[in-house]
Structure 1
Amino acid sequence: MDSLGQILAGMKNNNLLRRSEQLKAELLNDPLVLELRAQHPELDEEQLIRDMAKLYQYVNDSRHCAKCPGLDQCPNDFPGHFTKLTVENNTLGPQIVARQVPCSRQLQRENELSIQKKIRSFYVDERALQEGYDEVEILTKDRVRAPAVTQVLRYISATEEGGLQPRGLYLEGNFGTGKTFLMCYLLHKLAKSGYSGVIVYMPEFVEDLKSMLQDSQKLKETVEVMKQADLLIFDDIGAENLNPWVRDHVMGSILNYRMNRKPTFYTSNYSLEALEQHLSFTSKDGEERYKGQRLMDRIAPFVDVVTVTGSNKRGKRS
């Protein structure tokens, strides 16, 4: 007499067999499988039954994708990917091949991550670098600044078509007119073309440099990042509390290396003339006009001035 365990096992196997037959019938008559069979009449039912696991994965993934809950809640076994079936012929005849393929949302996220990896920021709000950009909105949001926006867009196009330009841009204008926003847009746009970029908020950067005096390796690495980036932006230059060491040894070193190599960009509330006055005065040594002029010789000849006018958009979307 069979043991209870054997009887239970037999019952389980019988249930499993019935469920397997039901699943097979449902799967072979699924619209997606019927479509596959219509496209590849060389596939016989025996071949399909042998590859039921692939068919099941294919149908299951397709159903999930049709009701996509979003990339973060993707229910597929390989999130952000779906099963794609192809039929390939070899010496054994037609074979069903299953591959995991990234969906459009996954590709978009990978593209966004690759762009973000191209851009580094020092003390600049990351949201300014990550928000979506709409060129029509940028042009029409404040028509008064349209000439400045046009200049920036032309610069981007010139770089996309002809490579890194010999000169950068100097965006001057009042508070809140969108200068930083436009430079973040430039970085974001050119990162898509493969260019690396760094944006530095000058007031906080200068303050943090004081602590780097005790960490020469960190200072060296930071300066090297700024020297080597394809695109370097000094944001809000002129608002920092300058000292001779920062001006002459840090800024001077970075700009001396970059001139005639890679473009540098600036946003400021100062004109170039007013910036020279600012750079000529330090909290430690007072006015040193020669040293201010020396640094300006590494700025003014290597930028085109863009005057950004318009209303103050602080607290609003730029």
Structure 2
Amino acid sequence: MDNLSEHLQEMMKGRGVTRRFNEMKKTVMADADVQQFLHDHADELAPDAADRGAAKLYEYIRQRSKSGGPDAFAPGYVPRLVVAGHLIDIEYQPSAQKVADDERSRRLHLVRMENVPRDVRSAMLDKYDENSGREAAIVAAYNFVKQVGEDKERFAPGLYLYGPFGVGKTYLLGAMANELARRGVAVLLLHLPTFAVEMKDAIKDGGVLARIEAIKKVPVLMLDDIGSESFSPWFRDEVLGVILQYRMQEQLPVCFSSNKDKKQLQGFLAGNERGDEESIKASRIMERVNFLTKQITIEGPNRRDTQE
């Protein structure tokens, strides 16, 4: 920035300096933004500030025309005229596009969604259709996001979203995750059946413990589709149980979606549907689920063919 001003000043010292200076000053003084700045700060500026700051004013006009683009002196930044020591100076601020891009990047780094539909990854709470079967869910979602976003140290019970296939459970989890990220809260949303398969594969390369360690400590964890597909007692007890136990002890929020209510889920976890009764171990899992979440029922038509 200073180099550009110095270059312009050197140019004035050469041949035709008076003509060039007058042409530049004429261009500068005809600019509406410059006129407004000089008017607004007349009491702060030295009497000869416009003449002494002609190079700065010319730099401002040139760089402003590039709108913080790739050809600008400082790409992604736009010039702003300021008063410094009764003279004219320039400071560079992030452009609106850069601010938006930086915010988008920050949010992308805060939220991770694994094995969920494309529309869920861009879901927004204000786009969630509030039909007669969804009011309680959307109110609970807003309350949860507000509580977690405003006080990250205080435990907020998560949501156990229960309802038939296609009513919008996964979409609502995604919308909550994106809103939490906007508020500066890191979130991990996992499709639980796929995660169970991945953890089984991770046994081969010894990656189970590292994966559990990372997941159990994320600020907000969301587990999608629990109860839709069976998983092994090993995954139930040594993976899911360990994660939920840690989060219960540390009071870290968890949210679920399921096509089974909590009572049905307990039977599912016990192996009733496989004829393999392990009710005590299933009860332990449900104790953690009950502590960590409150059940919210979602009703409505199946939207799977359009958007949840």
- 1:108-130 deviation digits (Å, cap 9, x = unpaired): 33223222222122323465233
Identity %: 26
- Alpha-carbon distance in structure 2 between the residues aligned to 1:36 and 1:161: 39
Question: What is aligned with 2:11?
Answer: none
The Cα shift of 1:282 comes to 9.7
Letter in 1 for 2:109: K
Structure 1 unaligned blocks of 5 or more: 1-12, 66-70
User: Are the aligned partners of 1:204 and 1:240 in contact in 2 as well (CA < 8 Å)?
Assistant: no
Q: Secondary structure at the match of 2:303?
A: coil
User: Are the aligned partners of 1:206 and 1:246 in contact in 2 as well (CA < 8 Å)?
Assistant: yes
Pick from 297, 300, 304: which aligns with 1:310?
300
Q: Does 1:58 align with 2:60?
A: yes
User: Are the aligned partners of 1:177 and 1:309 in contact in 2 as well (CA < 8 Å)?
Assistant: yes
The Cα shift of 1:309 comes to 0.6
Question: What is aligned with 1:110?
Answer: 102
What TM-score do you get using the length of structure 1 for normalisation?
0.79
Structure 1 pair 34–161 and aligned structure 2 pair: CA distance change class (3 A): closer
Q: Secondary structure at the match of 1:176?
A: coil
Question: What is aligned with 1:3?
Answer: none
Q: Does 1:77 align with 2:79?
A: no
- Alpha-carbon distance in structure 2 between the residues aligned to 1:236 and 1:186: 16
The Cα shift of 1:197 comes to 1.2
Letter in 2 for 1:54: K
Pick from 256, 259, 263: which aligns with 2:245?
256
1:107-186 superposed matches below 5 A: 107-125=99-117, 127-131=119-123, 133=124, 135=126, 137-138=127-128, 140=130, 142-163=131-152, 164-186=154-176
Letter in 2 for 1:314: R
User: Are the aligned partners of 2:155 and 2:253 in contact in 1 as well (CA < 8 Å)?
Assistant: yes
Q: Secondary structure at the match of 2:297?
A: strand
Structure 1 pair 18–237 and aligned structure 2 pair: CA distance change class (3 A): same
- Alpha-carbon distance in structure 2 between the residues aligned to 1:201 and 1:193: 23
Question: What is aligned with 2:260?
Answer: 270
- Alpha-carbon distance in structure 2 between the residues aligned to 1:38 and 1:184: 50
User: Are the aligned partners of 2:125 and 2:179 in contact in 1 as well (CA < 8 Å)?
Assistant: no
Q: Secondary structure at the match of 1:177?
A: coil
Q: Does 1:40 align with 2:10?
A: no
Q: Secondary structure at the match of 1:128?
A: helix
Question: What is aligned with 2:211?
Answer: 222
Pick from 63, 81, 88: which aligns with 1:96?
88
Structure 1 pair 84–226 and aligned structure 2 pair: CA distance change class (3 A): same
The Cα shift of 1:251 comes to 0.8
User: Are the aligned partners of 1:244 and 1:285 in contact in 2 as well (CA < 8 Å)?
Assistant: no
The Cα shift of 1:18 comes to 5.7
- Alpha-carbon distance in structure 2 between the residues aligned to 1:284 and 1:184: 31
- Alpha-carbon distance in structure 1 between the residues aligned to 2:119 and 2:90: 39
What TM-score do you get using the length of structure 2 for normalisation?
0.82
Structure 1 pair 240–61 and aligned structure 2 pair: CA distance change class (3 A): farther
- Alpha-carbon distance in structure 2 between the residues aligned to 1:282 and 1:84: 69
The Cα shift of 1:74 comes to 6.0
- Identify the range of structure 1 (156-165 vs 229-238) with the bigger mean alpha-carbon deviation: 156-165
Letter in 2 for 1:243: S
Structure 1 pair 134–179 and aligned structure 2 pair: CA distance change class (3 A): closer
- Alpha-carbon distance in structure 2 between the residues aligned to 1:278 and 1:228: 26
- Alpha-carbon distance in structure 2 between the residues aligned to 1:268 and 1:53: 66
Q: Secondary structure at the match of 2:306?
A: coil
- Identify the range of structure 1 (299-308 vs 144-153) with the bigger mean alpha-carbon deviation: 144-153
The Cα shift of 1:50 comes to 4.4
Letter in 2 for 1:81: Y
- Alpha-carbon distance in structure 1 between the residues aligned to 2:149 and 2:200: 37
- 1:66-108 deviation digits (Å, cap 9, x = unpaired): xxxxx8x66533333211111022xxxx232311111233223
Letter in 1 for 2:57: L
